[in-house]
Amino acid sequence: MTKFSGNRGEWSEPYVLLKLLVDGELTLGDSKLNKIKDLILPIVSILREEQSQKFSYSDNKQKVVIELAGGNLFQIAVDEFKEKAEFLLARIKIGSGEKKTGSFSIPEIEDFLRQIGCTKLSEKSQSKSDIYIVVHDVRTGLCPLLGFSIKSELGSKATLFNASQATNFTFEIPDWDNKFTELVNSIDNKKGKVQKRIAKIRELGFDLKFSHVDDSKFRNNLMLIDSQMPEILVEMINNYYSGKNASVSELTRIVCAINPNKYDKQYEHQFYSYKIKRFLNDAALGMTATTVWQGRYDATGGYLVVKKDGEIVCYHIYSKNEFEDYLFFNTKFDTPSTSRHDFAYIYEEGGKFFFKLNFQIKI
């Protein structure tokens, strides 16, 4: 029998299942991860895909009704879920010690997880949804089935938007002197290598001029969100690697001040923050670089965030402003692996010299 083993983020998925069955409701949050007490969605049932598990409640909500594949139906007291959730949270916090990224086992919880139909810690699929929940929307009276992506503050930062070679942006270095190529490419400080190479290029009297987004599918995905989204991201990437800031909200403020797209700002329209919020929203709910994006959300509910104290805050597309503000004020640009994604070195092509930049966004 395979043992459960995973990092804090992976262990957070079964914790969310147990905790939500205890709470019986989702509480929406604001941009600072505070619960909004008046915005609550009662939970009708929870579904996980691995064995077609369905969790609902008996009439008095004192017991959880569990239905597994094959029609196996049984009940467990909510109090037992509460006990297991509290134990699991405490063990996740201990984790593998000081390191937040290491994998570890919690053998004391394994039998219970298997009893309720869990055979693995996290859902691994093409979907961005980790858990599906039927909620009672008191505003409409409907009970929609919503998919949520789980993000946890108990472990290391999660990735909102993943890097790949498809997310490379190519820049030309006009009038580059090839005698400096080896000098720049040999800069190999593990921390800040990309920034130091760019700084050296500029110190030598040259600069980077945006040429194109390498992958046409990714370029079109960006342009579907906004026709000038590639240019906006280029400006943010440039400022990030220039050491100005990593925060998405701060980089947006910097780009707004530069106004590279020459928007008419006399009426104080928030052009850049509006567009970046759309990009983050789409990245969070389904858009990737390598798949054609048609604007149809995959995580149809939003995000469930496990706070450091174990409480769970919901960000739901029904409350679009709060969800977008949460993403906007809690995300940062990050440097992906240069070797894996093949960027950050000078190369020659057709008598011209180029330099690729890449990025990922953490939350």
**Choice among 11-15, 95-99, 206-210 with the minimum mean pLDDT:** 95-99
70 pLDDT tier (thresholds 50, 70, 90): confident
Q: Pairing state of beta strands 159-161 and 302-306?
A: unpaired
Q: Which amino acid is at 167?
A: T
Apex CA 173: angle with CA 168 and CA 178, to 5°?
A: 115
156 pLDDT tier (thresholds 50, 70, 90): confident
**CA of residue 52 relative to chain centroid, distance:** 25
pTM: 0.90
**Sheet with 360-362, side-by-side order of all strands:** 159-161, 360-362, 332-334
Q: Is the pLDDT of residue 71 over 70?
A: yes
Matching residue, tokens 């395979």: 2
Helix residue ranges per DSSP H, the chain = 8-23, 78-94, 107-115, 181-185, 193-203, 216-225, 229-241, 248-258, 271-284, 320-330, 338-341
Q: Is the pLDDT of residue 140 over 90?
A: no
Q: Which residue has the higher pLDDT, 70 or 307?
A: 307
Q: What is the mean pLDDT of the chain?
A: 93
Helix then strand then coil, in percent of the chain rounded to 5, is 35, 25, 40
Structural contact between residues 159 and 360, judged by C-beta atoms closer than 8 angstroms: yes
Give 204-232 pLDDT, tens digit per residue.
999 999 999 999 999 999 999 999 999 99
Give 237-263 pLDDT, tens digit per residue.
999 999 999 999 999 999 999 999 999
Give 305-319 pLDDT, tens digit per residue.
999 999 999 998 778
7 torsion bin: left (phi>0), alpha (psi -120 to 50), beta (else): beta
CA 239 to CA 168: how far, in whole Å?
16
Phi (first) and psi of residue 41, to 5 degrees: -115, 110
Structural contact between residues 198 and 208, judged by C-beta atoms closer than 8 angstroms: yes
Torsion of Cα atoms, 6 then 7 then 10 then 14, to 10° = 70
Q: Is the pLDDT of residue 348 over 90?
A: yes
Q: Using a pLDDT cut of 90, give the percent of the chain over it.
A: 80
Structural contact between residues 315 and 326, judged by C-beta atoms closer than 8 angstroms: yes
* Sign of the dihedral through C-alpha 267, 272, 278, 284: negative
Apex CA 122: angle with CA 117 and CA 127, to 5°?
A: 110
Structural contact between residues 7 and 158, judged by C-beta atoms closer than 8 angstroms: no
Give the contacts of 135 (CB within 8 A, at least 6 positions apart): 26, 41, 42, 43, 44, 143, 144, 146, 301
